[in-house]
């Protein structure tokens, strides 16, 4: 199945999805040294986003969150790609300065943690290539 | 988004990696907010200055940008810096040096309009400090969105910003009509009123009817609105430059009375014995406000037992020094701190309670867990121990 949105940034990557059903705050919500979600209100608290494709509705919180995404990427603890329903400034700028492909305008209800997907930031497409085992 | 040939070249890396990265940021924002093109800006004002907020990661980003050869192309000033211990001060200095290396003017203030970064009506800007954005849009009639640190820096480097949001005429009209049925006289009452309006309209554009504020009152009211909500533009009937064209007949109407203001004030009613410092100058004090503080201290005629900090921009501090106000304030245990902000400093490590005349400061200090007393300037100075 192919989901069509709008791509921001460069590149095509494949990987396993982790889905957060709630908006994410990167400043104070993710440990930049490990990639583990620390936001007490998050439904994926304690999970790691390192090397995964992170799907969530939208960012929230401080605009300093963009720098946390940058720190995650610089330290090799960042997500491979980002999928959001609604890109706003924090996540968009974070993805761009970190070189992480981003696709926005995707109904993330169609995605489940553990699925394998291909994210194309050039065409804005997210293709589900495996249902996963979760 | 449409790009000119020149902009396409910049995006392809023709003018170096820093300009390319800055263009990538602007184009991505332009795309998600459906901007038609980039427009030239007259000045920039950058957030992400305090080490408390920026942290190691933000510093790393700035170091990388400087290494890529980033230079601003329009007049650019900074948000206030933080103050802290020796290690903090060292980091803070490095941050300022990184911005200086990019050609940014190292005036770190939330009131750049008291210095050389003074826009005029209709100017497009890329500013990020929430109260400065509010003042520029509402009081001066310039046009800026609420930028984040990296997006205002990107705009400063390219000299342009995507044309969306408050740059467009149609987004500058009122979303709420606020009728004030309370006596609002003193500056802190304007600050409290702004606090209540921000809570109600959130990111809307309020049109306010029934008040006669002066320019410092407008500054205080706008800062509160931008803290309790995320208001970037408001209009005051008969007072602000765009009020005549701001209203149409389909906006939500809201009444604010004495009771609403009292309710906000009661949330910040710490006792004097719980207060261990006084903060005035949030946003940074004008020369007129400093004069008022000095005159009140002279009337009080005995030193304050709790330290008083008045935060100001460098340019206003220089005038206060010259005119003798600094000396008077120091005589009564006060201190003028220039180019810094206590809201972005680790004050909760040093103090447990504050008295302030600023709704914005009250909002943030309370969120850090401090006891807060919000009162008028005269009451604070006359009643403080």
Which of A71, A88, A93 has its CB closest to that of B150? A93
Q: What is the pLDDT of residues B273-325, one digit of tens each?
A: 999 999 999 999 999 999 999 999 999 999 999 999 999 999 999 999 999 99
Is the CB of residue A65 less than 8 Å from the CB of residue A30?
no
The pTM of this model reads: 0.94
Cβ B151–A93 below 8 Å, yes or no? yes
What would the mean pLDDT of A75-102 be, rounded to a whole number? 95
Report the alpha-carbon angle A26-A30-A35, nearest 5: 125
Cα distance between residue A82 and residue B379, in whole Å = 52
Q: Are residue B177 and residue B217 in the same domain, yes or no?
A: yes
Could you tell me which residues come within 8 angstroms of residue B290 by beta carbon, excluding any fewer than 6 positions away?
A: B310, B312, B316, B320, B325, B329, B336
Confidence of residue A131 (pLDDT cuts 50, 70, 90): confident
Place of tokens 């309710």: B263
Could you give the percent of chain B with pLDDT greater than 90? 95
Q: Is A58 on the interface with B (CB under 8 A)?
A: no
Q: Which residues of B touch A71 (CB under 8 A)?
A: 56-57, 60
What is the maximal distance between C-alpha atoms in chain B? Answer: 67
Q: Are residue B30 and residue B179 in the same domain, yes or no?
A: no
Q: What is the pLDDT of residues B137-189, one digit of tens each?
A: 999 999 999 999 999 999 999 999 999 999 999 999 999 999 999 999 999 99
Q: Are residue B9 and residue B54 in the same domain, yes or no?
A: yes
Q: Is A30 on the interface with B (CB under 8 A)?
A: no
Q: Are residue B181 and residue B61 in the same domain, yes or no?
A: no
Place of tokens 């109260």: B131
- Domain limit, last residue, from B248, B266, B284: B266
Place of tokens 């206030």: B80
Q: Are residue B262 and residue B273 in the same domain, yes or no?
A: no
Q: Are residue B190 and residue B317 in the same domain, yes or no?
A: no
B/e letters for B267-280, b = 16+ CB within 10 Å, e = fewer, are ebebeeeebbbbbb
Q: Which two tokens stand for residue A102?
A: 């981003």
Q: Are residue B158 and residue B25 in the same domain, yes or no?
A: yes
What CATH number corresponds to the domain at position A32?
3.50.30.10
Q: Is B61 on the interface with A (CB under 8 A)?
A: yes
Q: What is the pLDDT of residues B82-95, one digit of tens each?
A: 999 999 999 999 99
Confidence of residue A27 (pLDDT cuts 50, 70, 90): confident
Is the CB of residue B143 less than 8 Å from the CB of residue B123?
yes
- Domain limit, last residue, from B102, B134, B169: B169
Cβ B24–A96 below 8 Å, yes or no? yes
The helix/strand/coil state of B178 is: strand
Domain membership of residue B317 as a residue range:
269-383
Which of B25, B56, B147 has its CB closest to that of A96? B25
Give the C-alpha distances (Å, rounded to integers) separating A39 from A35, A61, A78: 12, 11, 16
Q: Rounded to a whole number, what is the distance in Å from the CA of B53 to chain A's nearest CA?
A: 7
Answer left, alpha or beta for residue B238, where phi above 0 means left and psi between -120 and 50 means alpha. left
- Domain limit, last residue, from B266, B294, B322: B266
Place of tokens 């696709």: A103
Dihedral of CA atoms A31, A34, A35, A39 in degrees, nearest 10, equals -30
Q: Are residue B308 and residue B218 in the same domain, yes or no?
A: no
Cross-strand pairs, B255? B179
Mean pLDDT of chain B: 96
Q: Which of A63, A84, A99 to mutate to test the interface with B (most CBs of B within 10 A)?
A: A63
Q: Is B84 on the interface with A (CB under 8 A)?
A: no
What would the mean pLDDT of B13-36 be, rounded to a whole number? 97
Place of tokens 């392809």: B12
Cβ B28–A9 below 8 Å, yes or no? yes
Q: Which residues of A touch B21 (CB under 8 A)?
A: 96-97
Q: Which two tokens stand for residue B59?
A: 């510093």
B/e letters for B207-231, b = 16+ CB within 10 Å, e = fewer, are bbbebebeebbbbbbbbbbbbbbbb
Cα distance between residue B349 and residue B233, in whole Å = 34
Q: Are residue B213 and residue B323 in the same domain, yes or no?
A: no
Q: Which of A25, A62, A66, A98 is catalytic?
A: A62
Q: Are residue B247 and residue B180 in the same domain, yes or no?
A: yes
Confidence of residue A41 (pLDDT cuts 50, 70, 90): confident
What CATH number corresponds to the domain at position B90?
3.30.499
- Note which residues in 105-134 of chain A have CB less than 8 A from chain B: none
ipTM of the complex: 0.89
Cβ A6–B31 below 8 Å, yes or no? yes
Beta strands in A1-134 (DSSP E): 2-4, 6-8, 12-19, 24-25, 53-56, 59-60, 81-84, 102-104, 116-120, 125-130
Residue A40 pLDDT? 86
Q: Rounded to a whole number, what is the distance in Å from the CA of A30 to chain B's nearest CA?
A: 13
| Catalytic site includes residue A48 | no
Q: Are strands A53-56 and B38-40 parallel, antiparallel or unpaired?
A: unpaired
Report DSSP state, residue B257: E
Q: Are residue B216 and residue B312 in the same domain, yes or no?
A: no
Q: Are residue B126 and residue B191 in the same domain, yes or no?
A: no
Confidence of residue B57 (pLDDT cuts 50, 70, 90): confident
How many structural domains does chain A have?
1
Report DSSP state, residue A30: B
What CATH number corresponds to the domain at position B286?
3.30.499.10
How many structural domains does chain B have?
3
Cα distance between residue B9 and residue B177, in whole Å = 46
Q: Which of A30, A66, A84, A95 to mutate to test the interface with B (most CBs of B within 10 A)?
A: A66
Could you tell me which residues come within 8 angstroms of residue B95 by beta carbon, excluding any fewer than 6 positions away?
A: B49, B51, B54, B59, B62, B81
Q: Which residues of A touch B25 (CB under 8 A)?
A: 93, 96-97
Domain membership of residue A62 as a residue range:
2-131
Could you give the percent of chain B with pLDDT greater than 70? 100
Cβ B28–A89 below 8 Å, yes or no? no
Place of tokens 């908006």: A23
Mean pLDDT of chain A: 93
Q: Are strands A125-130 and A116-120 parallel, antiparallel or unpaired?
A: antiparallel
Q: Which of B50, B51, B57, B79 to mutate to test the interface with A (most CBs of A within 10 A)?
A: B57
Cross-strand pairs, B176? B206, B252
Q: What is the pLDDT of residues B163-174, one digit of tens each?
A: 999 999 999 999
Residue B218 pLDDT? 98
Residue A133 pLDDT? 58
Residue B312 pLDDT? 98
């Amino acid at each position: 199945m192919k989901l069509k949105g709008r791509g921001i940034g460069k590149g095509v990557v494949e990987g396993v999805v982790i889905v957060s059903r709630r908006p994410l705050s990167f400043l104070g919500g993710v440990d930049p040294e490990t990639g583990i979600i620390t936001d007490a209100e998050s439904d994926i608290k304690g999970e790691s986003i390192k090397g995964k494709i992170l799907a969530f509705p939208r960012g929230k919180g401080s605009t300093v969150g963009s720098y946390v995404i940058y720190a995650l990427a610089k330290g090799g603890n960042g997500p491979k790609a980002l999928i959001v329903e609604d890109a706003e400034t924090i996540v968009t700028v974070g993805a761009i300065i970190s070189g992480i492909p981003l696709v926005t305008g995707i109904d993330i209800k169609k995605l489940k943690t553990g699925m394998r997907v291909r994210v194309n930031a050039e065409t804005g497409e997210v293709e589900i290539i495996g249902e996963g085992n979760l | 988004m449409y790009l000119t040939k020149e902009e396409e070249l910049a995006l392809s890396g023709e003018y170096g990696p820093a300009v390319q990265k800055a263009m990538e940021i602007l184009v991505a924002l332009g795309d998600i907010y459906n901007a038609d093109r980039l427009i030239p800006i007259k000045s920039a004002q950058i957030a992400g200055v305090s080490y408390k907020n920026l942290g190691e990661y933000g510093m790393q980003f700035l170091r990388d940008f400087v290494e890529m050869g980033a230079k601003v192309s329009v007049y650019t000033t900074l948000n206030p810096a933080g103050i802290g211990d020796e290690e903090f001060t060292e980091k803070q200095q490095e941050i300022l040096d990184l911005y200086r290396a990019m050609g940014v003017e190292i005036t770190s203030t939330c009131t750049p309009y008291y210095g050389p970064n003074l826009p005029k009506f209709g100017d497009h800007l890329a500013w990020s400090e929430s109260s400065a954005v509010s003042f520029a849009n509402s009081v001066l009639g310039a046009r800026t969105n609420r930028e984040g640190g990296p997006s205002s820096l990107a705009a400063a480097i390219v000299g342009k910003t995507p044309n969306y949001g408050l740059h467009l005429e149609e987004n500058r009209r009122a979303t709420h009509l606020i009728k004030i049925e309370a006596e609002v006289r003193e500056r802190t009452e304007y600050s409290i009123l702004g606090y209540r309006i921000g809570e109600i309209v959130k990111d809307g554009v309020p049109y306010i009817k029934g008040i006669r504020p002066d320019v410092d009152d407008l500054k205080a009211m706008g800062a509160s609105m931008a803290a309790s909500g995320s208001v970037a533009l408001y209009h005051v009937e008969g007072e602000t430059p765009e009020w005549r064209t701001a209203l149409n007949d389909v906006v939500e109407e809201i009444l604010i009375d004495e009771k609403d203001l009292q309710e906000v004030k009661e949330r910040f009613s710490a006792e004097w014995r719980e207060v261990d410092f006084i903060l005035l100058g949030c946003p940074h004090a004008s020369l007129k406000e400093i004069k008022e503080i000095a005159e009140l201290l002279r009337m009080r005629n005995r030193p304050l037992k709790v330290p008083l900090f008045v935060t100001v921009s460098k340019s206003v501090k220089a005038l206060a020094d010259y005119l003798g106000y600094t000396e008077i304030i120091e005589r009564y245990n006060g201190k003028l701190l220039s180019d810094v902000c206590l809201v972005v400093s680790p004050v909760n490590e040093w103090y447990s309670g504050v008295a302030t005349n600023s709704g914005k400061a009250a909002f943030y200090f309370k969120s850090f867990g401090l006891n807060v007393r919000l009162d008028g300037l005269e009451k604070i100075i006359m009643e403080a121990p």
